[in-house]
Amino acid sequence: MLRVSGPQDVWWEVLPEHARQLPVELAGIDAYLDDERFIAPWRAVFAERLGRPSVPVETLLRLLYLKHRYQLGYETLCREVADSLSWRRFCRIPLASPVPHPTTLVKLVRRSGPQISEQLNAALLDKLVEEKLLRCRKLRIDTTVIEADIDHPTDADLLEHGVRKLGRLVRRIKAAGAAGRTPFRDRSRSAGQRLKQISRTLRRRTGRALGEIDRLTGEVAVIARATLQDVAAVERNARRALRGRPTGQLAHLVGELAGTVAGTRRLLEQTALRLAGIRTIPDRMVSLADPDARPIRKGKPQHPTQFGYTALVAEDEDGFVVDHQVNRGNPADAPQLVPAVERVTALTGRVPATVVADRGFGTAANDRALAELGVRRIGLPRTGIPVKARREYERSRPFRRMRNWRVGIEARISHLKRSFGFRRTRLRRLAGAQTWAGLGIFAYNLHRMTVLSR
């Protein structure tokens, strides 16, 4: 059941004045969040009268800001709020009331999904436009990688993970009372032994190490195939037990088992291609825990290959992130430019006078499309060797000034990664990465608003 606000606490008035005052940053954000447009997105998540009372929305919003502003885990966040008078008052939690439990916050964030974070960002940007804090006369755009919360993947490691997860799910299904007589052999130990042998082989650093690793990887693949054969009978008999019980824990376990079987089969296909000498595999799966994560190469010497999602970030001249998009894999940069400018135009009601980006966005088609939209100054360097006229234009002083201003977005992305959790998403799958990035951008824009309002 939806609760917008909690009970009023008269005990705050007992405290001395200096103990009741909020820091300048939190006081500005506290007043800013007292707007109905930040409450409206949550009305679709909770029923108005049915169910247990939810955490008050005004408390939830402020807790999520503190979490992403200071990059705290849920348990640490709840502990710090309970120990701090200013944070407790900012979150509007009475002195005699407990702080919401960390698992409650986890469930609420998962339930909200990327739609809520998108609506919160749209409401905040709309409010900034109304108050003329956001003008967006200039726009710079770039893409970056948000890493998934996974280890560096290898074929053998992924298959061993699949064998272990299948064994664990089968044990839980049997404990739930389904497929109790179906024979199943847990081969997790055998797969783990091969993985240890691969680790010892890598330490040798000899010329025969690669061949030995391929042989052991093939043995892990054989173990995974045998496990899938046993799991097929367990899944079939478990589905029979589900007849008349389409919901509940058993249904959830059977559905997770089916998804893990599909993922393990895909990993076996990838491993067969790699052992056959095919090193480049399109749309490669790199995790069973986060199946939407993909390998991404951005040409960085220190990080040649990253695993996660690609995020587009658009920043205006005042440092507000006015548009962001999180995508699966590594789509081309150029097709994302014009839609981003159109979204910003719809938000602010005006076309940015200046749009700059790096060479990945620089195409003649983008120059023409931006000119048709009404952009007066376009700073998109071209790849390859430009013709003489284009070369002279890129050497002109106005273009060089736009190019120098564009470099500043690298610092903004670094700031988002260091201070607002943009380096690694702690939520899985594409929807989780979009939710994580959206809440991080929401916290950043709120913080930026307090800086510019001083």
DSSP for 129-178, written as a single string: HHTTS---SEEEEEEEEEE-S-PPP-HHHHHHHHHHHHHHHHHHHHHTTS
| Domains of the chain, residue spans | 10-113, 133-150+293-452, 155-275
pLDDT for 20 equals: 75
What phi, psi does 147 have (nearest 5°)? Answer: -70, 145
Pick the CATH number of 133-150+293-452 from 3.30.9.10, 2.60.120.560, 3.30.1540.10, 3.30.420.10: 3.30.420.10
**What span, in angstroms and rounded, lies between the C-alpha atoms of 354 and 339?**
16
Which residues does 211 contact at the CB level (< 8 Å), separation at least 6? none
Among 31, 25, 16, 92, smallest CA distance to 58 is for 92
Q: For tokens 């999180």, what's the residue?
A: 326
Mean pLDDT, 10 residues at a time, the chain of 454 residues: 75 71 89 91 82 86 95 95 91 89 93 93 94 92 95 93 96 91 94 92 71 91 96 93 79 93 96 90 92 90 90 96 95 95 94 95 94 94 86 92 94 95 94 96 95 82
**What span, in angstroms and rounded, lies between the C-alpha atoms of 98 and 82?**
8
Using CA atoms, how far residue 81 sits from 43, 56, 74, 216, 306, in Å, is: 25, 15, 11, 50, 35
Output the six-digit token pair for 105.
Answer: 């916050």
Cβ pair 20, 28 in contact under 8 A: no
What phi, psi does 295 have (nearest 5°)? Answer: -70, 135
Cβ pair 286, 153 in contact under 8 A: yes
**What span, in angstroms and rounded, lies between the C-alpha atoms of 315 and 436?**
19
* Helix boundaries (H) for 205-333: 209-241, 249-275
**What span, in angstroms and rounded, lies between the C-alpha atoms of 430 and 309?**
8
Q: pTM for this structure?
A: 0.92
